[in-house]
Amino acid sequence: MLKYLIRRLLYAIPILIGVNLITFALFFMVNTPDDMARIHLGAKQTTPEMIAAWKQAHGYDKPLFFNGNAEGLDTLTDTLFFQQSVRLFTFDFGLSDSGRDIGADIQQRMWPSLALALPTFLLGLWVNITLALVAVLFRYSRVDKTALVAAVLLMSISGLFYIIGGQVLFSKVLHWVPISGYQPGADAWRFLILPVLIGVFAGLGAGLRWYRTLFLEEVNKDYVRTARAKGLSEWRTLSRHVLRNGLLPILTGVVVVIPTLFMGSLVMESFFGIPGLGSYTIEAIQGQDFAIVKAMVFLGAVLYIAGLILTDIAYAWADPRVRFK
Amino acid sequence: MGLAGCHIPWNDPYPAGTTAKPILLRAFSAPPKHLDPVMSYSSNEWGIISQIYEPPLQYAYLKQPYTLEPLTLTRMPDVRYLNEKGQETTRDRAAFSEYTLHLRGDVRYQPHPAFLAPNRELSAERIAQLTTPYELPTGSRALTADDYAYAIKRMGVRAYQSPILDTMMAHIVGLKKYSENVSQAYEKLKETRSGGGFFDLRPYAIEGVQVVDTQTLKIRIKGVYPQFLYWLSMNFFAPIAWEVDAFYSQPGMKEKNLSLDTWPVGTGPYMLVENNPNFRMRLMPNPNFHAESYPCEASEGVSRALLDDCDQPLPRNGGVLYTLEKESVPYWNKFMQGYYDASGVSSDAFDQAVQLSSSGNIGLTPIMQEKGIRFLGGVQPTIMYFGFNMVDPVIGGLGENQRALRQAVSIALNMEEYISIFLNGRGVAAQGPLPPGIFGYEPPPVGINPFVYRWENGQLVRRSLDEARALLEKAGYANGIDPATGKPLKLYFEAVGASPDDQARLAWLRKQFAKLGIDLVIRATDYNRFQDKMRQGKGQIFMWGWNADYPDPENFLFLLYGKNGVVATGGNGVNYANYANPEFDRLFEQMQTLPNGPERLRMIRTMVHIVQQDAPWVFGFYPRALALYHHWYHNAWPNMMANNTTKYLRVDAAERVERIRQWNEPNRSALWIGLAALLGMGAGAIWLYRRRQQQRAREEGGSC
């Protein structure tokens, strides 16, 4: 297993270089360093001297991938791509183009993101699986059909509707919870309860249908029939046997997202005023802050790769037949 | 929800007891990027740092027209005019102007660790433990003239990215030479010290900046430039203590986001004690703030109620809590719940908040009035305009035909309709380049644009489309047909963005041109490409705006000065229309150095008439700002030039608490009903399951 993990980690290096290469190419295809300088300087009148000084201060005065004025290895290393990529691999994200330390910002912002994303994820998983099992329990009955129709309806409505509707109902009309905001520490639950419930509710339709389909595939298999023949109740059969055997496809979709929970949710955090990482990348793209963009894309890729490796490990844990080669 | 009972009301978004404190509760919609006065130039950043820093001058809060007054000075700067030899001379023969600033003796810095010497030599371990500077013991000291000189020296370091360095180099004697030298020295230092370190500017000198003694500073500028006084009211000229620069230059500080750009240090009424730009920022009163009292004089037209706090010490509140609120819906709802003291009016909430009378006057809806909400409105010192590229062969040039074409378009673009549809009436159709409040602006009928409007029965009337068509015919495009092609004349509009909102505006714009038979082609692009086109003079028609840096007509009329043409200056000018009229330019050069008075007004009238006739712009509109505020919020006044007005505001916290309690009583019965419904559903499911199990058992038993 260790060998397998090392091999997977080594595979990650060319993938990350590739991701980085694409990020650089795409970003600078749309924005030139001069454009970035103008946006960051924010002055009504930007002079060539101001632009040149800004580019020099931020290292954007170098060629992107190939330095024709340099010699030998410097043609590749004395470039924007090389200079700005190498540090990423040591997780030194450096300073943003507006001068803030990116690592410090990520550390500060990831906890509120996690405080929102983790309960939403866990509660959502539990609710979706439970309701899917209930739907399978009453399969093909009126209860099941009603649940299916409701699921389709829930899926058809925009997430924004749940957010604004929830804010209006629970905060504006009923005055139960703050409409938006955040407090660190023990008081955080007052601010998280509404976005978490809305997050769970918004994902209910798709989750219910997906898990119901998975469990229905299992429910007619021989081992289930055997369990029933042993005299187990239907609920016990579902929760003990069907759920466990349905875990593999669930793990595929679930474990891979666990590391990326740090990255936060753009819409939920914006509407509920949660000071997380959700909007960090978007704001950086809008503000043409390439230092943040490349750091966040890199981090996202690392977390995704970590998620895939975790999924593989989870497979082996859930199904002893799976072996690493 | 039991726990929520401890926090009354349940939907209070602040830590318990916050609303009961006499602090202002405000929101900000975007995190400020820079709080260092040397580089900060955005209104959202100035909204914060102007409460912390004190440049030498400020705008008198309740005076109209905008009037400068001393802030950290004992009196307004003394101005002497000097000849080439440095001898005193008259204004009209001056080669230099010398401004002498006499500082007050009672101004001290806020408490800050930088003022204690040991804190400027911290170990790396100690710095690594810090999250805010205020975890260290603090000190203070008196403001000196050296601090103002130090701020100007910082401006000169190119790498510090001052947005006004090039402008100031043209005015302050010796700044250019100093900047070249000091910038080179800075780069050398950076090469030798990779981990940063203090770049001490004290040994460097600027020829035109002289510290006479601790309380006196002289600044010498080239020629006569009366607008320099306005610059002295901006944060670029706020004092910086060298100790603070040294403190934040310690290696490891930047990695902890501890810098002048994040933790400002000033002499103003407040100090920033919490800074999480993605969440919350908090200002507390500066305990060392010098004596300053609420004004006792106000211009005519200012409500006398605003003088109730006359002579009371400033600041009039206990601080400010800013919360990041990115979305307008929660911001508005929280304002309506009482959790923000004031709010703008977004287009979504406009109908709920504001009603327009048949005469176009703005009033509040009954819902707002019931809550005791009040509003403040004022025309901003800003102009939004549609510009014609004067170097374009079709629409540009000063020939009769092209001028007639532009005048025809100016009539057809119905700005009153634009303001009504897209701004909910929050704007005033512009008659010329100068907005209200700026010297030289004259309301109609005197200041009417006679080429677009007529004055009839005491009212402004837009000229008819028939007149526009006649002008179009004169231009050689009868009925909008281009004789060269035999088809409708094609004009091109450079647009930024293509959102649904933009689409509506662009559709409206096409319709306006279609009224003359002209086919307007929209060339939508992103902001970067749009700017490129403008700099290269490749656009034909575009929309742009200008917000006053200072309330002087020069700051608007220079947008039409030929030597500022964006093409002529290789992309560095601000005259994006590339308008160049020799007569206008001649008058501008005379007018810009004149003091406000009848002679200057005469010149401005002529200049405005010239541009009205040449029509390089369709003078669009002056936006009207509209702010709502609660009954407990006092002393609010829309001084559009002043940024340091927080110190005048006062809140009645007891009233705020009471109103919030009334407006946010939680609905407990709905909670019990909801819980009962959930329990009922659970019980129903269990009952259904059991019934189904029994039924199946019976079926299976029967089959046996």
**pLDDT at position B4, please?**
44
* In a domain? residue B545: yes
B700 band by pLDDT with thresholds 50, 70 and 90: low
* CATH number for position B413: 3.10.105.10
In chain A, what residues touch B337 (CB-CB under 8 Å)? 171-172, 179
Token pair of A95 as six digits: 């300073």
Going by pLDDT thresholds of 50, 70 and 90, the confidence category of residue B6 is low
- In what helix (H) or strand (E) does residue B96 lie, and over which residues does it extend? strand B96-102
Question: Which of B334, B668, B695 has the most A C-beta neighbours within 10 Å, making it the best mutation to test the interface with A?
Answer: B334
Min distance B352 CA to chain A CA atoms (Å): 15
pLDDT at residue B1 is higher than 70: no
Q: Which of residues 3-32 of B touch A (CB under 8 A)?
A: 3-4, 7, 9-15, 31
- Regarding an ipTM greater than 0.90, the answer is no
B281 by DSSP, 3-state: which?
strand
Give me the residues of B, 557-576, that contact A with CB < 8 A.
570, 572-574
A–B: how many Cβ contacts below 8 A? Answer: 169
Give B291's DSSP letter: P
Which of B1, B3, B574 lies closest to A45 in CB terms?
B574
Judged against a pLDDT cut of 90, whether residue B235 lies above it is answered with yes
Q: Closest to B161 (Cβ–Cβ): which among A30, A53, A189?
A: A53
Instruction: Express each pLDDT in B252-262 by its tens digit.
Output: 999 999 999 99
Q: Nearest by CB to A53, from B158, B546, B573: name it.
A: B158
| Tokens read off for B417 | 């309709």
Residue B543, domain member (yes or no): yes
pLDDT band at B704 (very low <50, low <70, confident <90, very high): very low
CB contact under 8 A, B167 and A138: no
CB atoms A176 and B261 under 8 Å:
no
Which residues 516-535 of B have a C-beta within 8 angstroms of A? 526, 528, 531
Question: 3-state SS of B516-577?
Answer: CCCEEEEEEECHHHHHHHHHHCCCCEEEEEEECCCCCCHHHHHHHCHHHECCCCCCCCCECC
Q: How far apart are CA A173 and CA A168, in angstroms?
A: 6
CA distance B557 to chain A (A): 15
Nearest to A57 among B159, B330, B664 (CB): B159
Does residue B618 sit in helix, strand or coil? strand
Contact B389, B537 (CB under 8 A): yes
Segment B287-313 mean pLDDT: 94
| Sign of the torsion angle spanned by Cα atoms B415, B417, B423, B427 | positive
Adjacent-strand bridge partners of B520: B491
Q: What is the pLDDT of residue B2?
A: 44
Nearest-CA distance B672 → chain A (Å): 12
Q: Of the spans B87-91, B366-370, B384-388, B498-502, which averages the highest pLDDT?
A: B384-388
Condensed to tens digits (0 to 9), the pLDDT of residues A144-173 reads 999 999 999 999 999 899 999 999 999 999
B529 Cβ contact partners less than 8 Å away, ≥ 6 residues apart: none
| B55 neighbors B48 (Cβ within 8 angstroms) | no
Integer Cα distance of B326 and B331 in angstroms: 8
Q: Which amino acid is at B485?
A: T
pLDDT at residue A205 greater than cutoff 80: yes
Residues of B in contact with A273 (CB under 8 A): 13, 279, 323-326, 330
Tell me which residue in B15, B278, B333 faces A109 most closely, judged by beta carbons: B278
Span B600-608, mean pLDDT? 96
Section B269-282 average pLDDT? 95
Task: Using pLDDT thresholds of 50, 70 and 90, give the confidence band for residue B499.
Answer: confident
CB contact under 8 A, A167 and B665: no
Residue A318's CB: how many other CB atoms inside 10 A? 15
Spacing of C-alpha A95 from chain mean position: 23
Overall average pLDDT of the B544-564 stretch: 95
Q: Of A195, A204, A178, A183, which Cα lies nearest the Cα of A118? A: A195
pLDDT per residue over A266-320, tens digit each? 889 989 999 999 888 888 888 889 999 999 999 999 999 998 888 888 888 777 7
What is the rounded average pLDDT of the residues B60-69? 93
* More confidently predicted of A90 and B405: B405
Query: pLDDT digits over B343-399, tens only?
Result: 998 878 888 898 877 766 778 999 999 999 999 988 999 999 999 999 999 999 999
Tell me the per-residue pLDDT of B414-452, one tens digit each, with 9 for 90 and over: 999 999 999 988 899 999 999 999 999 999 999 999 999
Distance CA B439, CA B312 (A): 32
Chain B hits for A42, Cβ within 8 Å:
33, 41-42, 163
Within an 8 Å CB–CB cutoff, is residue B334 touching chain A? yes
CB contact under 8 A, B4 and A176: yes
User: Among A95, A172, A190, whose Cβ lies nearest the Cβ of B333?
Assistant: A172
Q: What are phi and psi for residue B514, nearest 5 degrees? A: -65, -25
> By the 8 A CB rule, do B281 and B305 touch?
no
What is the pLDDT confidence band of residue B195, given thresholds at 50, 70 and 90? Answer: low
Name the pairing type of β-strands B216-222 and B270-276: unpaired
Q: Using CA coordinates, name the residue in chain B closest to A160.
A: B329
The answer to whether B243 touches B283, Cβ cutoff 8 Å, is no
Query: Does A181 sit within 8 Å of B549, measured CB to CB?
Result: no
pLDDT digits (tens, 9 = 90+) for B605-643: 999 999 999 999 999 999 999 999 999 999 999 999 999
User: Could you tell me how many helices (H) and strands (E) chain A has, helices first?
Assistant: 17, 0
Residues of chain A in contact with residue B259, where contact means CB-CB under 8 angstroms, are: 99
Cα separation of B692 and B44, whole Å? Answer: 64
Q: Is the pLDDT of residue B703 over 70?
A: no
For A271-286, the three-class secondary structure string (H helix, E strand, C coil) is HHCCCCCCCHHHHHHH
> E strand or H helix at B358, and its extent?
none
The number of CA neighbours under 13 Å toward the Cβ of B569 is 23
- pLDDT at residue B439, as a whole number: 94
Element (H, E) at B576: none
Question: Which of B28, B33, B526 to probe by mutation at the A interface, max A CB count within 10 Å?
Answer: B33
Asked if the structure places residue B617 within a domain, the reply is: yes
B606 to chain A, any CB pair closer than 8 A? The answer is no
Category of B440 on φ-ψ map: left (φ > 0), alpha (ψ -120 to 50) or beta: left
Amino acid B512 reads Q
Backbone conformation region of residue B193, classed left if phi is above 0, alpha if psi is from -120 to 50, else beta = beta
With CB atoms and an 8 Å threshold, state whether A190 touches B167.
no
Interface test with B, best of A87, A116, A171 (most B CBs within 10 A): A171
Lowest mean pLDDT of A164-168, B169-173, B535-539, name the range. Answer: B535-539
> Would you call A176 and B1 a contact, using CB atoms and an 8 Å cutoff?
yes
Contact B327 A270 (CB under 8 A): yes
Tokens representing B582 are 């020799």
Q: Is residue B417 part of a domain?
A: yes
Helices (H), B7-118: 43-49
Cβ neighbours of B8 (radius 10 Å): 14
Q: What is the pLDDT of residue B701?
A: 61
For residue A95, give the DSSP letter.
Answer: B
Question: Which pLDDT does position B7 carry in this prediction?
Answer: 59
Instruction: Provide, as residue numbers in chain A, all residues whose Cβ is less than 8 Å from the Cβ of B526.
Output: 30
**Chain B contact set for A175 (CB, 8 A):** 9-11, 664-667
Asked whether residue B509 is domain-assigned, the answer is yes
Cα separation, B37 vs B49, whole angstroms: 7
What's the pLDDT score for residue B3? 44
Nearest CA in chain B to A138: B689
B50: left (phi over 0), alpha (psi -120 to 50) or beta: alpha
Kindly state the DSSP code that residue B624 receives in the 8-state scheme.
Answer: E
CA distance A246 to chain B (A): 22
Q: Is B531 close to A235, i.e. CB distance below 8 A?
A: no
Say yes or no to pLDDT of B5 above 70: no
Contact across the interface for B549 and A35, Cβ inside 8 Å: no
Token pair belonging to A98: 């507006």
B245 vs B155: CA distance, rounded Å = 13
Q: How far is A204 from chain B (nearest CA, A)?
A: 16
Q: Which residues of A20-57 are buried (b: 16+ CB within 10 A; e: fewer)?
A: beebbeebbeebebbbbbbbbbbbeebbeebbebbbeb
Q: Cβ–Cβ of A179/B278 closer than 8 Å?
A: no
pLDDT of residue A324: 61
Give me the pLDDT at residue B127, please: 95
Mean pLDDT of B223-245: 96
Please, what sign has the CA dihedral across residues B210, B212, B214, B219?
A: negative
In chain B, how many domains are there? 1
Residue with tokens 């204690």: B116
DSSP 3-state of B439: coil
How far apart are the C-alpha atoms of B526 and B100, rounded to whole Å? 47
Q: Would you state the structure tokens that stand for residue A269, as one six-digit string?
A: 């955090």
β-bridge mates for residue B313, sequence order: B293
Q: Which of A68-77, A122-131, B98-107, B237-246 has the lowest average pLDDT? A: A68-77
Tens-digit pLDDT profile for residues B659-682: 999 999 999 999 999 999 999 988
Half-sphere exposure of B39 (CA within 13 A, CB side): 23
Mark yes or no for CB contact B15/A187 under 8 Å: yes
**pLDDT tens column, B202-213:** 999 999 999 999
DSSP assignment letter at B41: -
CA distance B533 to B494: 9
Q: Quick check: bond before B65 cis, omega within 30?
A: yes
What residue numbers bound the domain in which B402 lies? 383-625
Domains delineated in chain A: 2-90 (no CATH), 108-214+244-318 (1.10.3720.10)
